[in-house]
A and B are shown apart, each in its own frame.
Chain A
Amino acid sequence: MTLLDIEGLNVSYASRAGPIRAVISADLKIEAGQTLGLVGESGCGKSTLGKAILRILPDTATVTGSIRFAGLDLVTAEEPALRKIRGRNASLIFQDPMTRLDPLMTVRHHFLELIRAHEPDADEDDAMKRTRRVLTAVRIPPDRLDQFPHEFSGGMRQRIMIALALVFNPTLLVADEPTTSLDVIVEAQILQLLDSIKNEFEMGVLLITHNLGLIAEYAEEMAVMYAGHIAERGPVRDVFKEPLHPYTKGLLDSVIDLETRELHSIPGQPPDLLQPPSGCPFHPRCPSAMPVCTGAFPPTTRPRRDRTVACYLYPG
């Protein structure tokens, strides 16, 4: 069953220098209970895409296309309807847990506020019962409810954020670089926690990261994003075995493991989104660039079963 269906999604930010197109006609699908890994370099639009799903982008952002979720099109839905979805049907956890909790509020109040926002009549005892249940699920001792965020470590704060995300058993969790700012041990703990919770709560997860290792480990499907475009999509196993898009190949070649003798990287820098290169934005860095690549953005084709790619190397 398709949980989240994004079609032709565009997000652009107004700026003094002109519009910045952060997401360009993106198509993505997440099935219930499935993890989709979204990978790309910094500034490629992956965080914008994550926030666009919950419609919490700043006022300067314009969103078009469609995001079908929970029987609604989130692009056209009104603010009150969106508010009911946020934190209840779909939750978002962020990269930097250190600054995501209100420093002046105890953990208890964060939960109470969330539960009351969605169920104004909830009584405190019942709310606290639910809070203790999710806190136990993320292994935060519930007797620390009355402490303030600064009394917790980064990893614990991220687990509190996850607990907040889980209170209403959402069907979708958007995890935007959930472990990037944490150390490796904590990273593993958090990801294993997310994985077990995903199975327990049967959530679909959009895992946004720049770390291909995480995708290999925790995602079933993946999408590669470059300069606002979805360059390639497919099952993780297939994409790793046979990357189609030259950018995906470059990314996979840059991964370091024990056999690495020589470091590989993709030459050049990700493009300026204000003035992206014509045609396929990857062409200035692409080893297989052809004259046609500078013309128009390549159509998305389906060269393999369950795989799509936007590259002239794979004519439909």
Chain B
Amino acid sequence: MPRTQASLRAYVVQRLLLTGPMVLILLTLVFYFLRAAPGDPVGAILGEHSGPLADSIRRQLGLYDPLYVQYVDYLRRIFTGDMGNSIITQHSVAADIAQRLPATIELTVASMFVAVLAGMLLGVVSATRRDRPADVISRLVAAVLYNTPIFWFGIIMQLVFAVQFRWFDSGGRLSAQFAIPPRVTGLYTIDSLVAGHFRTFIDAVAHLILPALTLGLVLAGFFARLVRANMLQSLQADYVEAARARGIRPLDVFYRHALKNAMVPVSTAMGLTFAILMSGAILTESVFSWEGIGRYIFTAISNRDYPALQGAVVYYALIMVFLSVLIDIFNAWIDPRIRY
């Protein structure tokens, strides 16, 4: 094993060293793109023809400084963890994001759980029963899920399960009668368990179910197609036939060879989806009044709230970099060919 581990370690170190330049490039792009977009925050607040008042606010915000001064100032602040204050609410952007992040993490993890489970199940059933009724049905289900508009699906879920059957609330993270559990992680489900508030936990889970199903099932449609396509390919691979020719049991051939090889591209797609969800599922969060990052970004865009938007995008860039490093390392761990 030592050789194998050494090559993996070298890969991880190299991959981590690359993240520095990557983050800097991303931060620079974020800065310039936002400045290049038409309109400015002061105009958004005061209207276009606001004269001297607007001028003085722009000066106060440093918007008249040369771009490179603004850029250096921007980088300096980010590295000290200061993302500025929202122009609209005056709240610290870093604090705002930190406060909303757990909601997004909770929704992301729950919906990915649904998506991976359902997607793998549908995909594997399809691939192993190719062109038989089970395959046709599961492909149909996957195609319908994948093509369902998420906001419409969310509203239908609310109408059926919240309005008609009254099994769940239609939105929010917790019912009014429960106190928010003392903050440890910010994830209500985990915090309530830590605090031993079991009924609060049940309520938090109940609030999570509808948005997680909505987002998760739509994604499951996508994953199912991906799993099926990759499984069909790996089931026909030469090494699968060779393993059969050596008398390996069909289940072992399936799991140890076909499924594992199919998972290399699939896990990359799943990891990237996870990363995208971490920027907030804007539609799902809006339909279910879920106060996460997605809603925050949406509001910031509508208000041209530069610091808020910039902070959110910086956060998103960092998450993306961090998660893609994790995905790369995970892939290198299962697929030795990537390490070189």
Contact = CB atoms under 8 A, between A and B. Distances in A.
A25 interface: no
Interface stretch (B134-142, B184-192, B245-253, B304-312): B245-253
B246 A146 contact: no
Contact of B245 (A56, A102, A103): A56
Interface in B238-277: 238-239, 241-249, 252, 256-257, 260-261, 264
B193 interface: no
Interface string A253-283: 0000000000000000000000000000000
Interface string A75-103: 00000000111111001101010011111
Given A88-B247, A103-B239, A114-B248, A147 B3 contact: yes
Contacts of B237: 99
B244 A86 contact: yes
A130 to B, nearest CB: 14
B242 A117 contact: no
Contacts of A94: 238, 241-242
Interface stretch (B20-28, B295-303, B330-338): B330-338
B246 A117 contact: yes
Contacts of A99: 237-239
B4 interface: yes
Contacts of B244: 56, 86
Contacts of B2: 146
Contacts of B337: 103, 148, 150
Given A102-B261, A148-B336, A92 B245 contact: yes
A164 interface: yes
Given A94-B238, A146-B1, A150-B337, A102 B257 contact: yes
A64 interface: no
Contact of A100 (B4, B239, B264): B239
B260 A54 contact: no
A266 B244 CA distance: 37
A86 B334 CA distance: 28
B260 A104 contact: yes
B259 to A, nearest CB: 11
B336 A91 contact: no
A54 B4 contact: no
Number of chain A interface residues as a range? 20 to 34
A224 to B, nearest CB: 25
Nearest to B337: A150
A210 interface: no
A150 B135 CA distance: 34
A103 B335 contact: yes
Contacts of A88: 247
Interface in A214-239: none
Contacts of A150: 336-337
B3 A146 contact: yes
B336 A56 contact: no
Interface in B322-340: 334-337
A281 B137 CA distance: 43
Contacts of A51: 245
Contacts of B334: 104
A106 interface: yes
A161 interface: yes
A118 B1 CA distance: 25
A311 B115 CA distance: 63
Contacts of B3: 146-147
A168 to B, nearest CB: 9
A91 B245 CA distance: 7
A54 B3 CA distance: 36
Contacts of A147: 3-4
B245 A54 contact: yes
A66 to B, nearest CB: 21
Contacts of A123: none
A5 interface: no
A161 B242 contact: yes
A113 interface: yes
A92 B247 CA distance: 11
A105 B255 CA distance: 13
B247 A118 contact: yes
Contacts of B256: 102, 105, 113
A54 B244 CA distance: 9
Interface in A57-82: none
A105 B337 CA distance: 11
A100 B238 contact: yes
A56 B247 CA distance: 10
A101 B336 CA distance: 13
A105 B237 CA distance: 14
A101 B237 CA distance: 10
Given A104-B336, A117-B252, A91 B239 contact: no
Nearest to A108: B1
A199 B3 CA distance: 36
B4 A113 contact: no
30 contacts: A56-B244, A86-B245, A87-B245, A87-B246, A94-B242, A96-B238, A99-B239, A100-B238, A100-B242, A102-B243, A102-B261, A103-B261, A103-B335, A103-B336, A104-B261, A104-B264, A104-B335, A104-B336, A113-B252, A113-B256, A114-B248, A117-B246, A117-B252, A146-B1, A146-B3, A146-B4, A147-B3, A148-B336, A148-B337, A164-B246
Given A92-B245, A104-B334, 13 more contacts: A86-B246, A91-B246, A92-B242, A94-B238, A94-B241, A94-B242, A99-B239, A103-B335, A103-B336, A105-B256, A113-B243, A117-B247, A148-B4
The 7 closest A-B pairs by CB, nearest first: A87-B246, A86-B247, A87-B247, A99-B238, A148-B336, A92-B245, A100-B242
